[in-house]
Amino acid sequence: MTSTQTRVAIVTGASGGIGRVVAERLAADGMSVLVHYSGNQARADETVAAITEAGGIASAFRADVADETAVAAMFDAAEQRYGGIDVVVHTAGIMLLSPLAELNLDDLDRMHRTNIRGTFVVDQQAARRVRTGGAIINFSTSVTKIALPTYTAYAATKGAVDAITLILARELRGRDITVNAVAPGPTATPLYLDGKEQSVIDRMAAMSPLERLGEPKDIAEAVAFLAGPARWINGQVIYANGGVI
């Protein structure tokens, strides 16, 4: 990759929440961004519009992250539209909460398909296509360490993401491609806040020495660091949680 070449990023799950803010941040850093979504085209179009109105370059693409054919088509689209791929940020995932003893195993299978298989499928294409000097950034969770009740199955899927991340970094030896994961703590997104009583939100905010929930922009800052200047951070899980653990 030459110094004058515009970098290209694919951001999965970029139609809302943390993914949207990550897409906007990478675009603001000068990258052309392929905005992935799985179902809500209107929200994906809003992300694209926000980026283009701010002077950036973006377009949307729909795909099931666990479908290898659809994901390959998404990577094809990024290469055709922008000339190559330098950064892949995989934020897409689902979270279904229940105590282990009460968990509906269909929910476990759904999370396994999206969170584990989806990460594997996206990373497989990324490993084959990201250009020299690029970065692959998966999304884990701080709950693997905080160990909150009801998060058993979700945290288990993200533990698998950690393993995929650490081993893929070593498998890409000699390619000058970094592979890391960002593990957010409690973050004020609609997904996180939905259905929670204020007392629960306040308690979670108090867990951090900074005494607040994270904001999507806090997580995007960590992603931008790993996607850009952080070339000596590789094979790591970065806990972006304000010091909760």
In a domain, 25, yes or no: yes
pLDDT, position 1 = 44
Tell whether the torsion through CA atoms of 186, 234, 161 and 126 is positive or negative: positive
CA 219 to chain centre: 10
Q: What are phi and psi of 22, to 5 degrees?
A: -65, -45
**How distant, in Å, are the alpha carbons of 22, 125, 145 from that of 227?**
11, 17, 24
Give the pLDDT confidence score for residue 52 in this predicted structure: 98
**Residue 20 belongs to what domain range?**
8-186+216-239
Q: CA 245, CA 227: separation in Å to the nearest integer?
A: 24
Answer for the pair 213, 14: CB distance below 8 angstroms, yes or no: no
- Say if 202 falls within a structural domain: no
Instruction: Please state whether beta strands 135-139 and 178-184 pair in parallel, antiparallel, or not at all (unpaired).
Output: parallel
Give per-residue pLDDT as tens, 191-207: 778 778 899 899 989 99
Per-residue pLDDT tens over the stretch 228-240: 999 999 999 999 9
CA angle 64, 69, 70 (to 5 degrees): 35
Query: pLDDT tens digit string along 29-71?
Result: 999 999 999 999 999 999 999 999 999 999 999 999 999 999 9
Q: Tell me if 194 is assigned to some domain.
A: no
Mean pLDDT for the stretch of residues 212-228: 97
pLDDT at 4 over 80: no
78-94 mean pLDDT? 98
Amino acid letter, residue 242: G
Per the prediction, the chain carries an average pLDDT of 95
Residue 44 lies in a domain: yes
Give me the mean pLDDT over the 212-230 stretch.
96
> How far apart (Å, rounded) are the C-alpha atoms in residues 167 and 26?
25
- Catalytic positions are 154
Rounded mean pLDDT, 76-80:
98
- Domain contains 43: yes
Q: Is residue 12 part of a domain?
A: yes
Q: What is the rounded CA–CA span in Å between residue 9 and residue 56?
A: 12
pLDDT tens-digit readout, 135-173: 999 999 999 999 999 999 999 999 999 999 999 999 999
Q: Is 193 a member of any domain?
A: no
Number of domains comprising the chain: 1
Q: Calculate mean pLDDT across residues 114-125.
A: 98
SS3 at position 97: coil
| Alpha-carbon gap, residue 227 to 147, rounded angstroms | 28
> What is residue 200's predicted lDDT score, i.e. its pLDDT?
87
Instruction: Return the CA Rg of the chain.
Output: 17
CATH number of the domain at 89, please.
3.40.50.720
pLDDT at 2: 41
The pLDDT > 90 percentage for the chain reads 91
Structural domain includes residue 192: no
What is the percentage of the chain residues whose pLDDT exceeds 70?
Answer: 98
Render 122-181 in DSSP notation, one character per residue: HHHHHHHHPPTT-EEEEE--THHHH--TT-HHHHHHHHHHHHHHHHHHHHTTTS--EEEE
Report the alpha-carbon distance of residue 227 to residue 178 in Å, rounded: 9
